[in-house]
Chain A
């Protein structure tokens, strides 16, 4: 079982609200990632971080933002949620030398 946690697991929120999805890991991994996944579809990388104060956008454009102030914490924020943001958001981490990624359980976001 990977030591990577995401909260909340499920979130239903109205259009225009600001939300923050939490992700934390206790493995001391330098690299962390956020993916967006629609039901039955592939994962798309939306943000990644190589370490503290290092964040970059992924391959899929996203209106969300991230921060990496502490090694263990990589929150994702949506300033103004829209129905098009409805999806599952998966957080992952990996060690510098490893290529294996460890995934959290995901946050299923529904914007009404």
Chain B
């Protein structure tokens, strides 16, 4: 993979439970982003965390970043069936070109 690993590749939980997805990357970064993709659709931006930030919140989402380990995690609290989707992390590889390098994604299924 260009990016590294995301784990787990697939996750199945019950509604109301928390879901945690992890992402590792290979190069230094300016920022790391998380996107969601519903089946057969384009990606939707969820949250961006800069390299000098360690944690960021947005609604039910919490993202952490550990640049020393080149890893990030996305936590979705109190999951809903509508959260069922694939989740991708993406980094800019410390370039200012705007280009992103995407991970392989985690497929999340939330059962009602």
Binding site for B on A (CB under 8 A): 2, 4, 6, 31, 33, 35, 40-45, 48, 50, 58-59, 88, 90, 92, 94, 96, 99-106, 108
Contact = CB atoms under 8 A, between A and B. Distances in A.
B42 interface: yes
Size class of the contact patch on chain B: 20 to 34
Contacts, number: 67
Given A42-B1, A92-B43, 14 more contacts: A6-B42, A40-B86, A42-B3, A42-B88, A43-B88, A58-B99, A90-B43, A94-B98, A96-B98, A100-B48, A101-B45, A103-B35, A106-B42, A108-B40
Contacts of A88: 40
A100 B45 contact: yes
A31 B103 contact: no
Contacts of B99: 33, 45, 48, 58
A68 to B, nearest CB: 14
A43 B99 CA distance: 12
A94 B35 CA distance: 14
A12 to B, nearest CB: 15
Across the A-B interface, the 8 shortest Cβ-Cβ residue pairs: A103-B42, A43-B102, A103-B43, A42-B104, A31-B98, A100-B45, A42-B102, A105-B42
Nearest to A103: B42
Contacts of B30: 99
